[in-house]
């Protein structure tokens, strides 16, 4: 069992503009990145499940040059709107930390 919190170098969230949230998971080198990519665990369906968004609203991009995976999807409410809990969007990464990577 290898959790993202133990395998990744970076796991972070942030606004991508006031209406979208973007999450990055970055690994140390090409070898780890390719192993993780091969598992298929990091995929649009994972983000759809963890963040309760329709899968078709998840823009998922592996970025080989940076050993990174990026997922972008709508915020619950726009930044600063009534009910927003995280104006910068930088504390929405935690559910990913305990995702198990079979590597």
Q: Which residues bind another protein (CB under 8 A)?
A: 9-10, 14-20, 22, 24, 26, 28, 50-52, 59, 61, 63, 65-68, 70, 72, 74, 76, 78-83, 85-88, 91-92, 94-95
List, edge to edge, every strand of the sheet that includes 10-15: 10-15, 20-26, 68-74, 59-63
Closest CB to another protein among residues 30, 38: 30
Closest CB to another protein among residues 6, 82: 82
Q: How far is the CB of 18 from another protein (least distance, A)?
A: 5
Angstrom distance (rounded) from CA 36 to CA 59: 18
Find out whether 60 and 47 touch, Cβ atoms under 8 Å: yes
List the structure tokens of 61: 């991009």
């Amino acid at each position: 069992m290898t959790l993202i919190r133990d395998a990744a170098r970076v796991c972070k969230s942030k606004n991508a503009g006031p209406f979208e949230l973007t999450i990055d998971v970055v690994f140390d080198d090409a070898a780890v990145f390719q192993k993780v990519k091969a598992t298929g665990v990091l995929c649009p369906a994972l983000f759809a499940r963890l963040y309760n968004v329709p899968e078709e609203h998840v823009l998922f991009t592996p970025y080989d040059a940076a050993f990174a995976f990026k997922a972008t999807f709508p915020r619950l409410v726009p930044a600063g709107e009534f009910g927003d809990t995280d104006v910068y969007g930088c504390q929405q990464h935690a559910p990913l930390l305990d995702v198990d990577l079979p590597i």
